[in-house]
Amino acid sequence: MVQVCVNGGRGSGDGALVPLSPRAMAGSAAEAVAAGASDIHVHPKSPCGEDTLSPKAVAATLDEIRSRVAVPVGVTTGAWAEPDPAARVARVHAWTVLPDHASVNWHEPGAEDVAAALLERGVGVEAGIWSGTDGAERFAASPLGPRVLRVLAEVTDPDPRSAEDTARGLLAALGAAHGRPVLLHGEEGGAWPVLSLAARLGLATRIGLEDTLVLPDGRRAVSNAQLVTEALARYAAEAGSAEAGSDDPRS
């Protein structure tokens, strides 16, 4: 499974290609799905382009995207969009249109309460476990762990020279991950090396303008669809090269 991360926390300063309005997000998501993406992760935006969990923005974004595609659509619940944990939970309870899933960063204050609110409303939880945090340790001890939809193993190391090693360390820290599926991805300079590792390990992954603005050769990407096309080609090539051998992150 290759998920497209449509925009993330990026804004107008990152270039006109980053979709910020519901209509632009829907168009970009539809192109990415046509290119082969099978799941969508999106950050609803306020009128000024900031990430928001407001019911109005979430509903407008989901309705617009679902009018164009039939694959699952998820949103963020990142603390930067609503710093107060209680207010974040209240936002989830106030949503009038529900996403198929939502990411919850396990190292953030109030993560378990947000995850519990999502599960109560029937929304799948993607447990975001970031490298360089205590997220893996917290998740291992969480009673909600077995109930999440999947684990997002998020490698925050942007250095292409070390991102793969960081990814292996994160996977080792996750261990059995409560038996839940793992989606492995990187960001910025680490995006493509980590995607290649995910392919060799046979793990789900993601790509999109949230994670990187460039193609593997350093050229600026022109769309989410272009990133997805490149990711699928690279995934197929890396997975094929790994068929004859073993690439266990715990070895």
- How do the pLDDT tens digits run along the chain, 251 residues long? 999 999 999 988 888 789 999 999 999 999 999 999 999 999 999 999 999 999 999 999 999 999 999 999 999 999 999 999 999 999 999 999 999 999 999 999 999 999 999 999 999 999 999 999 999 999 999 999 999 999 999 999 999 999 999 999 999 999 999 999 999 999 999 999 999 999 999 999 999 999 999 999 999 999 999 999 999 999 999 987 766 555 544 43
Distance CA 224, CA 132 (A): 27
All residues at 6 or more sequence positions from 1 whose CB lies less than 8 Å from its CB, including other chains: 38, 39, 183, 204, 205
Backbone angles phi and psi of 112, in degrees to 5: -65, -35
Output the CA–CA distances (angstroms, integers) from residue 62 to 50, 72, 223, in the order listed. 17, 10, 20
Specify the 3-state DSSP secondary structure of 152: strand
**Residue 217 CB contacts under 8 Å (≥ 6 apart), including other chains:** none
Residue 239's pLDDT is 87
Residue with tokens 């309005």: 21
**Looking at the DSSP assignment, which residues form a beta bridge with residue 125?**
102
Contacts of 77 (CB under 8 A, 6+ apart): 53, 88, 92, 102, 103, 104, 105, 114, 118
Distance in angstroms (rounded) separating the CA atoms of residues 156 and 79? 16
Q: Record the pTM.
A: 0.93
Give, as one character, the DSSP assignment of residue 45. Answer: B
What is the per-residue pLDDT for 245?
56
Quote the strand ranges of the chain, DSSP E. Answer: 2-5, 39-42, 73-76, 101-105, 124-130, 150-154, 182-185, 205-207
pLDDT for residue 250: 40
Neighbours of 47 (CB within 10 A): 9
Backbone angles phi, psi at 174, to 5 degrees: -70, -30
pLDDT in the model for residue 243 = 65
Handedness of CA 219, 222, 226, 228 (dihedral sign): positive
Contact in structure between 66 and 30 (CB atoms under 8 Å): no
For residue 249, what pLDDT is reported?
46
Q: Token pair of 66, please? A: 């679902």
- Strand, helix or coil for residue 5: strand
What is the Cα–Cα distance from 55 to 139, expressed in whole angstroms? 28
